[in-house]
Structure formats: structure tokens, C-alpha cells
């Protein structure tokens, strides 16, 4: 019965599911506290208290037929205005509510913008390592994913390889900074160089190329590192944002798209994106969460909790001899595997440590450790990481880490 196009997705999904099920089985056998699951990017820091308070206040104070009712496909006007004003305050931009479209998280936003712009055969460039769902999102609209290979010295985008892959069929480029899984942040200089390449290609090819900045981790940046706002760098930029991580609300499915007026044909793009939201079946972003955003637009989770995890895990793994760069943002550590990454993940499972192979992010030879877990889980897992390092002789080779 199921479509041929769905078959590979189902097979791939069962591999991920098998890992999840294995984690549950291991927890039943050894006790939850003895299984060190670093596989999922599910925030463990609670939503700010103001978010829960806002939910209670909204139900008490606002007209419930309004709160629970249908609305414009782009979302409540006051929610869109609150987002625009917050961005303008923080980044010196000049957005109006018309430039904001409320979405069903970043996944919803990415699908809406890709549906809005892609014709069959259009190419979308991504920089490896990348969030694996991009491939499915692009294929949803019969686009073709083109992967720029990773620069594993820095995990910054390899711009020479990028330039080579831009063709007359290139319709969009996806960037993700702070990055899942590498934890790197793109500097203003990197964004300037990406913009210069795109402008030059638009000119010589006579095409329009949309830069899609997928930024669910924008607020998760450490040591005061700047995460430059992308729209001022390049006219054809759309931002896809999510509150899944910044407010720890992944299950509530709330985010937004920014479509600035500088985007070619912006009015048509904005109108088409609202229709895409409807015809994809989202209809609109969850209404209660939009009401929450009106009240909590500048709230943030406790970043220090993630920072503590980052410092402990990074310094400990480094001490044991693991090779990785220090993440500047998001909540992942991307570590060099001493052997094939899938084999390494299997070996780690024997120590009840669950990781994701870099192959899942188009970057074999590395593994991702999600440190959005409790500090205590990291403390409990450290002896296992140390044993693994010893098993692979990493401890003797220590000192290679940047």
C-alpha cells in the first residue's frame, strides 16, 4: 500500500527507532541511571517559568474562542508584530509583521519555504555535516540535495567547494549556525564571503538563489560569541527560527519564518508561504503557543546549564585523548571516531553509551554527543568514556586536540 517514495524513509526510520528501542531495553536491564543516552537533541533544561505562567494567564485572561480559533494562515498579527519588534531591537533590522510567518517549529518553517520555492529538479546546497532531515525536506518537493563536503579541520563551510557546486539549477542554500552537529558558529566574515559568492553567481548565471538560515540554536551560544544576524549580508535571505531549543518547547511546535522585503518578489513569496502553510496541512502554527510568544518573546532558557555540561564534557574528553573542537554553540560535541563511526557507536553501546554516527550527518569518521542531558548523567558517564579512550589507545596519544 505505501508509496515507493516512502520506503527508504521507513527503512531509515526503523534504524533510528531500533537505537531508541535498544536504549529503552538497556535502561530496563541496567537501570536508567546506568545508561548514558547522548543520542537525542531533546532539551533537558526546563522552559522558563514565565512560559508556563503565560499559558495559565492566557487561559484566564484571554477570550478562549479567540485563543483556540482559526486565524490567518501566517499567524496572529500581534505575535508576528512581537517577533518583528524583538528582532529589530536586538539586531537593528527593519521588519514589519508582514515579514513574519508563524510556523510549526523549524521543521514546519523549512518545509513551508521549500514548498514555496522549489520546482522538481531544483538544487539545494547544504554544508556537511548537516541536520539529516534536510534531505527529506528537499525531496518532499522533488528538489535535489547537493552536499558540500566538510572541512573537518574547522567544520566551517568550505567555500571553494561551495562555489564549484553552484549551477543554473541552484535554487537555495541552507546554512545552520550555531551548527547541529558540529557546534560551530559562522563569523561575519564567513557570511560576507558566502554572500559575495552568491551575488556573483546570481549575476553571472542570471538566477535568484535563496539563502535559508535555519537557526533553532541562535540563542545557544557560549563565551559571548557573536552569532551575526544573516539578513543584512545578502538580499535573498530567509530565516527559519524555532523556539524548540531557546524556550525548550520542542513538543509544542512553534517557530517562525522571516521573509524580508529585500527578497526578490517578497510580497509574492510571503503570500505563497502562507498558502504553503495551509496546503501542507499545518493551516497555522499552534495558537496557544503564538499567544505565549506575544508575552514571552524575549525569554530564554538557562544557558548556563548547557555551558556547564559543555565545559565538563569537553575538558574531560580532551583529557582522555579524544579529538574534537570546542563547540561555540548549540548543545552537541562532534568527536573524531578512532575507527569507523558506526563501528565505534556499536562499541560505545557495550559501555552503555549511546551516540549518533557522523554518517547520519554526511560526515563519516565522527560521532555526535548531545549534551542536553543532566550534569549528573555526564558525571556518571565519564568513567565509561575514559574506558573507551583507553580501549582505543587514545589516552597515550593525548594532546592532539585543538
Q: Considering beta carbons, is residue 176 or 287 the nearer one to ligand PLP?
A: 176
Nearest distance, CB of residue 205 and ligand PLP, angstroms: 28
Nearest distance, CB of residue 143 and ligand PLP, angstroms: 17
Among 255, 321, 327, 358, binds ligand PLP (CB under 6 A): 255
Say if residues 309 and 316 touch (Cβ distance below 8 Å). Answer: no
Among 37, 123, 214, 299, binds ligand PLP (CB under 6 A): 214
Asked if residue 250 binds ligand PLP (CB under 6 A), the reply is yes
Interatomic CA distance for residues 317 and 314, integer angstroms: 5
Asked if residue 43 binds ligand PLP (CB under 6 A), the reply is no
Residues 60-119 close enough to bind ligand PLP by CB under 6 A: 105-107
The three-state DSSP-derived secondary structure of 319-333 is HHCCCECCCCECCEE
Q: Considering beta carbons, is residue 231 or 244 the nearer one to ligand PLP?
A: 244
Nearest distance, CB of residue 371 and ligand PLP, angstroms: 14
Q: Considering beta carbons, is residue 176 or 386 the nearer one to ligand PLP?
A: 176
Asked if residue 242 binds ligand PLP (CB under 6 A), the reply is yes
Asked if residue 216 binds ligand PLP (CB under 6 A), the reply is yes
Q: What is the total count of residues that contact ligand PLP (CB under 6 A)?
A: 13
Asked if residue 327 binds ligand PLP (CB under 6 A), the reply is no
Asked if residue 48 binds ligand PLP (CB under 6 A), the reply is no
Interatomic CA distance for residues 3 and 312, integer angstroms: 46
Nearest distance, CB of residue 225 and ligand PLP, angstroms: 18
- Tell me how long the chain is: 402
Q: Considering beta carbons, is residue 48 or 321 the nearer one to ligand PLP?
A: 48
Asked if residue 131 binds ligand PLP (CB under 6 A), the reply is yes
Asked if residue 157 binds ligand PLP (CB under 6 A), the reply is no
Q: Is 224 exposed, middle or buried (0-12, 13-18, 19+ CB in 10 A)?
A: exposed
Asked if residue 176 binds ligand PLP (CB under 6 A), the reply is yes
Q: Is 394 exposed, middle or buried (0-12, 13-18, 19+ CB in 10 A)?
A: buried
Asked if residue 290 binds ligand PLP (CB under 6 A), the reply is no
Q: Considering beta carbons, is residue 214 or 299 the nearer one to ligand PLP?
A: 214
Nearest distance, CB of residue 202 and ligand PLP, angstroms: 25
Nearest distance, CB of residue 257 and ligand PLP, angstroms: 12
Q: Considering beta carbons, is residue 126 or 401 the nearer one to ligand PLP?
A: 126
Q: Considering beta carbons, is residue 320 or 366 the nearer one to ligand PLP?
A: 366
Among 177, 244, 359, 360, binds ligand PLP (CB under 6 A): 244
The site for ligand PLP (CB under 6 A) is made up of: 41, 105-107, 131, 176, 180, 214, 216, 242, 244, 250, 255
Amino acid at each position: 500500500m505505501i508509496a515507493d517514495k516512502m520506503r527508504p524513509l521507513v527503512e531509515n526510520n526503523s534504524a533510528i527507532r531500533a537505537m531508541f528501542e535498544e536504549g529503552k531495553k538497556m535502561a530496563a536491564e541496567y537501570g536508567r541511571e546506568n545508561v548514558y543516552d547522548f543520542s537525542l537533541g531533546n532539551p533537558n533544561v526546563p522552559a522558563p517559568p514565565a512560559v508556563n505562567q503565560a499559558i495559565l494567564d492566557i487561559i484566564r485572561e484571554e477570550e478562549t474562542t479567540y485563543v483556540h480559533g482559526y486565524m490567518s494562515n501566517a499567524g496572529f498579527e500581534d505575535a508576528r508584530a512581537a517577533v518583528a519588534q524583538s528582532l529589530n531591537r536586538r539586531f537593528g533590522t527593519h521588519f514589519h509583521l508582514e515579514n513574519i510567518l508563524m510556523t510549526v517549529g523549524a521543521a514546519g518553517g523549512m518545509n513551508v519555504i521549500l514548498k514555496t520555492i522549489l520546482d522538481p529538479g531544483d538544487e539545494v546546497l547544504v554544508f556537511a555535516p548537516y541536520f539529516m532531515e534536510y534531505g527529506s525536506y528537499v525531496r518532499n518537493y522533488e528538489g535535489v540535495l547537493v552536499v558540500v563536503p566538510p572541512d573537518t579541520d574547522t567544520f566551517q563551510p568550505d567555500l571553494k567547494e561551495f562555489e564549484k557546486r553552484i549551477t543554473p539549477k541552484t535554487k537555495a542554500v541552507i546554512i545552520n549556525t550555531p551548527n547541529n552537529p558540529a557546534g560551530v558558529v559562522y563569523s561575519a566574515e564567513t557570511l560576507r564571503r558566502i554572500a559575495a559568492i552568491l551575488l556573483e553567481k546570481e549575476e553571472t548565471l542570471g538566477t535568484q538563489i535563496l539563502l535559508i538560515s535555519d537557526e533553532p540554536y541562535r540563542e545557544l551560544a557560549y563565551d559571548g560569541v557573536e552569532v551575526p544576524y544573516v539578513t543584512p549580508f545578502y538580499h535573498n535571505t530567509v530565516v527559519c527560527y524555532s523556539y524548540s531549543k531557546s524556550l525548550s518547547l520542542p513538543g509544542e511546535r512553534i517557530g517562525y519564518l522571516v521573509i524580508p522585503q529585500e527578497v526578490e518578489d517578497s510580497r509574492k513569496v510571503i503570500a505563497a508561504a502562507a498558502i504553503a502553510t495551509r496546503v501542507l496541512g499545518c493551516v497555522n502554527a499552534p495558537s496557544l503557543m503564538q499567544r505565549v510568544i506575544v508575552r514571552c518573546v524575549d525569554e530564554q532558557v538557562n544557558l548556563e546549564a548547557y555551558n556547564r555540561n559543555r565545559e565538563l564534557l569537553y575538558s574531560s574528553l580532551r583529557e582522555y585523548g579524544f579529538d574534537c573542537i570546542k563547540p561555540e554553540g548549540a548543545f552537541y560535541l562532534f568527536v573524531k571516531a578512532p575507527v569507523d563511526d558506526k563501528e565505534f557507536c556499536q562499541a560505545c553501546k557495550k559501555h552503555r553509551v549511546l551516540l549518533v554516527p557522523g554518517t547520519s550527518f554526511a560526515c563519516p569518521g565522527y560521532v555526535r554527543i548531545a549534551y542536553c542531558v543532566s550534569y549528573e548523567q555526564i558525571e556518571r558517564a565519564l568513567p565509561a568514556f575514559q574506558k573507551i579512550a583507553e580501549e582505543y589507545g587514545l589516552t597515550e596519544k593525548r594532546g592532539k586536540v585543538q
